[in-house]
Structures are given as C-alpha cells and as structure tokens.
A and B are shown apart, each in its own frame.
Chain A
Amino acid sequence: DIVMTQTPLSLSVTPGQPASIACKSSQSLLHTDGKTYLYWYLQKPGQPPQLLIYQVSNRFSGVPDRFSGSGSGTDFILKISRVEAEDVGVYHCMQGIQLPRTFGPGTKVDV
C-alpha cells in the first residue's frame, strides 16, 4: 500500500494569515496517463470529509479560491492564502493512483 504522511499534524493559525500543509507519498502519484492522483479533503467538526482539491491543483465546485494545491511526484502542498474561521477542521490528503486508496493521518487546523 502507498503510505501517505502529512506535516504538520496540528496547526494553529491566525485569521487572515496564510497556512500550508505538506503531504508526501511513499510512491510517485504520477500516472501513465499524465495525471497525478493526489486529493485534499477538509473534515469540519462533526461532518463528513468534503473534497477540496482533486488531481493536485483542481478546486472542486464551490471551493473558495483561497485554497490552492501544488506539487508533483511524491511531494504536495495545500495552501490557504488567508485563513478564515470556517476553515477549521482536519485536512486529509489521499492518493488515488493505486488500490487500496490510502489517506494521510490528517492535519488538525484551528483558528
């Protein structure tokens, strides 16, 4: 199985300030189709995860443009340009190149 790691595991941020979370995979997530299968989810308190970013850098419908994703191969970053109070929760990265799908341990963000 592909192992996903995230740093940091906990992050306290000030509203209006930027924040970033790193995700690393044990194998390259670059597929032979040329696409890279790295996903980001936010799980707000008491809620299911919600898709933020798919295939490294594509924002899902309705996701604010303060969220952005970047990276390649095995190293990826999620950035929040200006954190808002509603951004609190646990951020999960996940690989989608291989079965079984595997998630990172999650990064807890509080404001």
Chain B
Amino acid sequence: QVQLQESGPGLVTPSQTLSLTCTVSGGSISSGNYYWSWIRQPAGKGLEWIGRMHASGSTDYNPSLQSRVTISLDTSKNQFSLRLSSVTAADTAVYYCARTSLSDSGRWRLFDYWGQGTLATVSS
C-alpha cells in the first residue's frame, strides 16, 4: 500500500521560504508511471494545485505561483520536496502531497494517493 507523509516546519516567517518534504513508502518515486504533486487548501477554502514533478526531472507549476515555487525529487530517500519563497499570510494553508499514476488500462488516475496534509502558517 502506497503511503505519503508530509513533514516540515509548521510556522514560517513572512518573506522567508516554506520548505516541505513528502516521504513516499510502498512504491518507488523513480517509476516513469508516476507524477508527484503538491496541492494546498487554505482553511475553509478549496483546493489549489501547486505543481508536479516526474521522475524524468520535468516539472510543471501553477502560473500563479511559478515565480516562487520549486519542486524537486530525492530518489535516494524516496522523497520529493516543495520550496515556496517570499511567503505571505496568503500562503497559510494545509499542504498535501499526492501521487498521479497510470493504470494498466492506460488511464491516468490523478491524485490517487494523498498524504495526511501539514498545516503551514505564515506569521511573524
């Protein structure tokens, strides 16, 4: 069973960089059949896709955040990470990591497994 677990500081100072890590167990992040994404949800609000990375090294980011976001993979630790720079209070949210997989029938199952989420609060 695939499991994802986010980790990182719960409190970030305004203008600093938010750094989170997602540790994957039960499967290798190196497989070409997966994409690894970050999604966030401010309290009481909807879901916002932040970006994704493939094992090939390709990345895609939400244009609304692109200038501030970096997603990277560490295959030796089976982890992927999110860095969001120049944070403000508007970046306060629960951050989720999630997997996308390709089924045997060739259908993309977007966000089939999620971490439990970690709350990141931006405050001085």
Output the residue of B62, B64, B111 with the most chain A CB within 10 A: B111
Known: A51-B111, A58-B107, A60-B112. A100 touches B63 (CB 8 A): yes
CB under 8 Å from chain B, chain A span 9-26: none
Q: Return chain B residues, CB-CB under 8 Å to A49.
A: 47, 96, 111, 114
B-side residues, CB < 8 A to A, are 37, 46-49, 60-64, 96, 98, 107-112, 114-117
Complex-state Cα separation, A106 to B48, whole angstroms: 12
Majority SS of interface residues in chain A?
Answer: loop
* Chain B contact residues: helix, strand, loop or mixed: strand
- CB pair B110–A103 under 8 Å, yes or no, is no
Q: Which chain A residues have a beta carbon within 8 Å of chain B's beta carbons?
A: 35, 37, 39, 41, 47-51, 54-55, 58, 60, 92, 94, 96, 99-106
Q: When A92-B47, A100-B63, A105-B46 are in contact, do A35 and B107 touch as well, CB less than 8 Å?
A: yes
